[in-house]
Amino acid sequence: MYGQRFLLASAVIASMLASSSAFASAQPLASANFASASANFTLSSVANDEQRALVEGERWFDFMQEALNNYNFSASLVHVQGQRVELFRWLRGSTEENESLELLRSLNGPEVQIVRRNQHVSYFHSMATPYSLRSNSMFGPIPTALFNEFSAISASYYAVPMGGARVLERPTIHLRLLPHEQDRFGYSLWIDRESGLPLRIATVTLEGEVLEQVQVTSLEVSTEPHPDLEQILELNPPPVVTDNQAQTQLVHNWQINSLPTGFTQIRANHHRLPITGIAADYYLYTDGITRVSVYVTEDPRTNTNLRYDGLESLYTHAYRDYSVTVVGRLPMATLQRIAMSVRR
Amino acid sequence: MTIHQREKLSALLDGHIEGNEIVMELVDNATERERWFRYQLAGAVMRGEATTQQPFDISAQVAAQVASEAVYSQSGSAAQQQSVWLRVQRWLQNGWVRPAANVAVAAGVAIVAIVGVQNFQRVDDGTVVNNPVAASASSSLQGFETMPLGGVINPVSFNTVHPQAEVQDSDQERRLLQSFFVDHHQQQQLSDQESVENEDPVKEID
């Protein structure tokens, strides 16, 4: 068993190294594409035109959301994150009994499979115990916000239609999700004009750097759900995770004084972290797309200036007798501002 | 090398047989030297002895040891034994161990990955859990191991280039980072579940 895990892990590393070198040449191409797209962008100075464009943008977003939640389709996609390139097969369909089924399976590296039957999502990973959760959408390469209506993100983002582009041999509309405030990332969606399905999705910094991309490489929309989806109906799903943490009481009432606008609290509790067992007061906030975690702990081990820069970043600010760690897909400056604003 | 010979090599490693000829073959054949090393490394990993700090290159010590050995008499098997040692010494000095360094780095990363996976959810830092609520909360999530899609726990595992003195620190740091990132993923998924349960508290799963 141990030996097998060792081999698996080695295989992961080998595939990582292979993929990183392969992607090195593709990166400049992708960012060049994006730069030209953003250069074309000029908001109309006439307020009416602007208003009309935003209404149109919202309509495109909701058109996409409808398609994602109702169509029968089978697709392949490439997910690119930094040096990492992953390949997936993605199926979605509705049965005659009106059951909503979805399947996402990795094609490279260790076998990962996510299966959704209505609000029951199961995660299978060759290196971990399978588990299920109740949710409307799966945590995968497609941002969960795309499955909800635009109204869920309208407090923090504008939907700006940028005009047409050809993606996967289809005419698409390039829709940008621009944050109201300059303290978070933006998103670019290329939506198939005919089906409404997103064919390309990019997470973009304010400077225009692409942090993460999903590119659909094949897409077939059908009247009947893909036969592979029927296997989900016969699947005996792993047990649903019991969430005993939701009701645990915070130890202190911390004041987070500098939370970016549009973020609302969706979870607060006191729990111990995996791996290290550090006990922390915990807050989770979302603006509809991105989520940010705030940990306040008196554990001396976190009394360091920990910092990690990436698509998902982390910043720890140590106070005299407690420390605050902020984790999320936000620019480092924003994480820093949040961490330094927490008072007892 | 035939399968039979490989078995002998394996047996030799385990200390079951003594053999000059197998050692001679090892010395002469570069592929076999690598295989020998791999067997040793695999054994060390399985016994849990391998660490990234372990000096794999022992050629200097071996050479010193050989030099300090008394010269054997010229007769019979002793002479043969000595010549084996001389050849061992020669190829150790020629740096055959070098490709092993790459393997060691890879193995080091792999071990970190394995340890990371196996340590999920374990609260074994020696602290006594005083708060029963917190204790039950952490144990209730047994079997819930969010893994990023690529199977790599976090890109931080690959920051392997550090000065020797900082290795201990960076291991600590890596554990901390992973701890926060893994928890961040778990809490996002749990909060999603929480909101679904709030909307629709009646479970209807068949």
Q: How confident is the model over A102-136, as pLDDT tens digits? A: 999 999 988 999 999 999 999 999 888 999 999 99
Establish if A118 belongs to a structural domain.
yes
CATH of the domain at A307: 3.30.200.100
Are B142 and B94 within one domain? Answer: no
Strand partners, A190: A174, A200
Q: Is residue A240 part of a domain?
A: no
Of the residues B101, B117, B146, the one at which a domain ends: B101
| Dihedral of alpha carbons B36, B37, B43, B44, sign | positive
CB proximity B152 to A under 8 Å: yes
**Is the domain of A187 the same as that of A44?**
yes
What average pLDDT does the segment B140-166 reach?
50
* B54 domain-assigned: yes
**Closest residue by Cα to residue B97 from B24, B30, B164:** B30
d(CA B34, CA A245): 51
A180, A200, A234 — which closes off a domain? A234
* Helix or strand run (H / E) with residue A327: strand A323-328
Question: Which residue type sits at A178?
Answer: L
Sequential DSSP letters for B5-53: HHHHHHHHHTTS---HHHHHHHHH-HHHHHHHHHHHHHHHHHTT---TT
Residues B184-197, mean pLDDT to the nearest whole number: 93
- Shared domain for A230 and A300, answered yes or no, is no
Range(s) of the domain holding residue B84: 3-101
Query: A5 vs B114: CB contact, 8 Å cut-off?
Result: yes
**Whether residue A98 is found in the same domain as residue A182:** yes
CATH number of the domain within which A83 lies:
2.50.20.10
- Per-residue pLDDT tens digits for A87-109: 999 999 999 999 999 999 999 98
Number of domains in chain A: 2
Nearest chain A residue to B42 by CA distance is: A3
Using 50, 70 and 90 to split pLDDT, how confident is the model at B121?
very low
- Calpha distance A248→A24 (Å, rounded): 46
- Residues forming a β-bridge with A132: A122, A240
Q: What is the distance between the alpha carbons of residues A316 and A303, in angstroms, rounded to a whole number?
A: 8
Partner residues linked to A204 by β-bridges: A186, A210
Residue B189, helix vs strand vs coil: helix
- Do A210 and A324 fall within a single domain? no
Residues B95 and B155 in one domain: no
- Residue B137 domain-assigned (yes or no): yes
Provide the shortest C-alpha distance from residue B193 to chain A (in Å). Answer: 5
**A247 within domain boundaries:** no
Do B97 and B136 reside in the same domain of the chain? no
User: Phi/psi of residue B95, each to 5°?
Assistant: 80, 35
Asked, for residue B206, whether it belongs to a domain, the answer is no
Specify whether A263 is located in the same domain as A220. no
Q: So what's the pLDDT on residue A47? A: 79
Helix (H, G, I), strand (E, B) or coil at A302: helix
Per-residue pLDDT of chain A (344 residues; tens, 9 = 90+): 444 444 444 444 444 443 343 333 333 334 444 444 444 455 545 678 889 999 999 999 999 999 999 999 999 999 999 889 999 999 999 999 999 999 999 999 889 999 999 999 999 998 889 999 999 999 999 999 999 999 999 999 999 999 999 999 999 999 999 999 999 999 999 999 999 999 999 999 999 999 999 999 999 999 999 999 999 999 899 999 998 887 788 999 999 999 999 999 999 999 999 999 999 999 999 999 999 999 999 999 998 889 999 999 999 999 999 999 999 999 999 999 999 999 98
Q: Answer yes or no: do B11 and B97 share one domain.
A: yes
Nearest to A312 among B146, B179, B181 (CB): B181
Residues A46 and A189 in one domain: yes
Long-range contacts of B113-116 (CB under 8 A, 24+ apart): B113/A9, B113/A12, B113/A13, B113/B152, B113/B153, B113/B157, B114/A2, B114/A5, B114/A6, B114/A9, B116/A275, B116/B153, B116/B157, B116/B178
CB-based contact A271 B137, cutoff 8 Å? yes
pLDDT recorded at residue A83? 87
Domain membership flag for residue A276: yes
My answer on whether A176 and A112 are in the same domain is yes
Residue A31: name the closest of A94, A64, A80 by CA.
Answer: A80
Report which DSSP code applies to A56.
H
Residue B123 forms part of a structural domain: no
Residues A111 and A229 in one domain: yes
Interface mutation target, options B120, B189, B202, B206, chain A, most CBs of A under 10 Å = B189
Same domain (yes/no): A205, A298: no
Same domain for B14 and B62, yes or no, is: yes
Does B13 map to a domain?
yes
Q: Each residue of B10-49: pLDDT tens digit?
A: 666 666 655 566 666 665 666 666 666 676 666 666 665 5
The residue from B85, B101, B117 where one domain ends is B101
Domain that holds residue A303: 255-343
Pick from A215, A213, A188: nearest CA to A82: A213
Rounded CA gap, A272 and B135, in Å? 8
Angle made by CA atoms A128, A129, A132, in degrees to the nearest 5: 120
Residue A246 within a domain? no
CA separation for the pair A111, B195 (Å, rounded)? 29
Is residue A266 located within the same domain as residue A210? no
Q: What percent of chain B has pLDDT over 70?
A: 17
- CA B190 to CA B206: how far, in whole Å? 21
Considering the domain architecture, whether residues A319 and A217 belong to the same structural domain is answered as no
A111 and A62 in a common domain:
yes
What is the rounded CA–CA span in Å between residue B107 and residue B168? 17
Residue B147 lies in a domain: yes
State whether residue A243 sits within 8 Å of chain B by CB: yes
- Does this model's pTM top 0.90? My answer is no
Domain membership of residue A1 (yes or no) is no
Q: Per-residue confidence at B171, pLDDT binned at 50, 70, 90?
A: confident
